[in-house]
A and B are shown apart, each in its own frame.
Chain A
Amino acid sequence: MTTALLVWKMLLFRLKEFAVSAWFLLISVLQPIIFATIAFYMFRTGGKPGTLLYAALGAGMMGIWSSTLFGSGGALQWQRWQGTLELLVASPPPFVIVLLPMALATSITGAYALVSTLVWGRLLFGVPLHLAHPVAFAVAVPVTVLALGLMGLLLASSFVLYRHANALSNLLEYPVWVASGLIFPISLLPGWSHPISWILAPTWGVRAIRAAALGGSPWGPIGWAALLGVVYLALAAVFLRIFEYQARARATLSLT
């Protein structure tokens, strides 16, 4: 309970920190609108009924992923630059507890992307916002945001040790969009790539959200997204223990 309260308080602090970052808000709000606009035009040309909401949800998810990726990837490097990483590592709680709110805050801030995309789609393109399963939708969105945050935590864990690893985040944006089926269904991808898609939380998150909004069975994908989130958290906890020890051995905590 104490740990949960600590995570909650630190999450509020991180959200406040992001809220005063114009750059981060720009990434979270404006970028998805640009993606959404492109996606709307592409899907409208296809002329299939119901695909505009499909595109809007995909574009919103793209925004959540971008925010999580750049936020989690950049957060640790930013802590290094401003000299706070050592303070965080040397604080009493396990580092995973310190890093968790940071990663969750990036995906929660990214949820603005979903909201702004849907509002944009409604106002400019007349996208109908009728939800097939409103309750499931209300569950699917936070579970997905949480799972993506935990995926960001797993990625960020390696950034403790490898200070240039956040450059990797630039490479992971587009492949995850494609492999998770955010732009088009993964059934269009070659069979060998499907196992990769299955271990990515956005795959199940977007399936859950689309099924809840457009009709289908959302609970299975919600469960998979939640399960993957738990696995990411467990792996991140193990990795962070190892990487923190190695960072103390290699003296990489204060290097920028």
Chain B
Amino acid sequence: MAVIEATDLRRVYETTTGVFRRRPLEVEAVRGISFEVAEGELFGLLGPNGAGKTTTIKMLITLLLPTSGSARVLGHDVVEDAREVRKKIGYVFGGDRGLYERLSALDNLRYFAELYGVTGRAQKKRIGEVLEIVGLTGREQERVEGYSRGMRQRLHIGRGILHDPPVVFLDEPTLGVDPVGSRELRQTISGLVQAGKTVLLTTHYMFEADTLCDRVAVIARGRIVGHGTPRELKSHVADRTVVEVEAFGVDEETVRRLRGMPGVTSVSIEDRDQAQVLTIQSPRGLALTQELPAWLDGAAVGRIEAREPTLEDAYIALVTESAE
């Protein structure tokens, strides 16, 4: 039996637009998503900002009602049996918020332990275990306001697993955490799966998904546009060559021009430190590196390098193709 089942989940947000003459506006954040997560699996939902990842996870953890479709966690319907679902899941959101800043980590953990029915001696023992798991032993008496972002995030995870839930939802848990902190968090997440928990992780860090997830679903504009193991997704672009170009001063028009270049299947651009990095995909065997400088006329071109496709390339290809 699947531990998490989402069937044709859809969520529409109703809002208004305009200042004086307000008009109703409907935003379809999730447009019929279906997937299943098996027991003990670490399943990743990947997608760009605004793709519908958080909305999906919030429907699964009972914080949002689906507009249509259904979802079950451990056999309990997330709308009809919300309390049963809540007892059996843990969830962690990324970011700074969600903690009582002026109180200590221990106070925070004690409070949520009470809420989740972990009381008395069991509470003291469990809090000790959780602090050990998230690497905060010895720092629990300090006020949370003095914690670094990584420590807060680890405390969030500690809070989420206090009641030893069989299913854990992690919504971008490494958001804004430095590389060392992220690595520690990834180790913590791996530990959860080793302890037999089923984990649903949303992220837009491909390395994280590649390292951690058994299976992933790529979500874009509210729809799943690809799913499978990281290896299966990578095979989606195995017949392609990826060229990375470090450049300066590349404008929208140049990117548009590149997309029209014969043989190019996708172009993405990312700001990295002072430079821009263009990632250009084309069918394997097509030599673009010679021609590219001419197509980047007007921009200062640095390093040009062809490499093997990664999960990130598969992700970019899926997201780009879904937009076309």
Contacts and interface: CB of A to CB of B under 8 A. Distances in A.
Interface of A: 5-6, 9-10, 13, 16-17, 20-21, 82-84, 86-93, 98, 245, 248-251, 253-254
Contact of A9 (B102, B114, B159): B114
6 contacts: A20-B102, A83-B98, A90-B63, A90-B91, A92-B116, A248-B63
Contacts, number: 73
B114 A83 contact: no
A9 B93 CA distance: 25
A9 B112 CA distance: 11
A251 B86 contact: no
B28 interface: no
A16 B103 contact: yes
B125 interface: no
A248 B107 CA distance: 28
Q: Which 5 A-B pairs have the closest CB atoms?
A: A83-B97, A83-B98, A91-B115, A92-B87, A92-B86
Given A83-B95, A84-B98, A253-B63, A20 B115 contact: no
A47 B126 CA distance: 63
Given A10-B111, A16-B107, A89 B63 contact: yes
For the complex, would chain A's binding face be called helix, strand, loop or mixed by DSSP majority? helix
A90 B61 contact: yes
B238 interface: no
Given A90-B62, A90-B63, A82 B103 contact: no
B99 A93 contact: no
A86 B112 contact: no
Contacts of B97: 82-84
Contacts of A6: 114-115
A98 B115 contact: yes
A248 B114 contact: no
A91 B112 contact: yes
Nearest to A10: B114
A86 B86 CA distance: 12
Contacts of B184: none
A13 B65 contact: no
Nearest to A253: B63
A20 B107 CA distance: 13
Contacts of B61: 90
A90 B83 CA distance: 8
Nearest to B159: A87
Nearest to A256: B97
Contacts of A88: 115
Contacts of A84: 97-100
Contact of A248 (B64, B91, B115, B119): B64
A91 B165 CA distance: 12
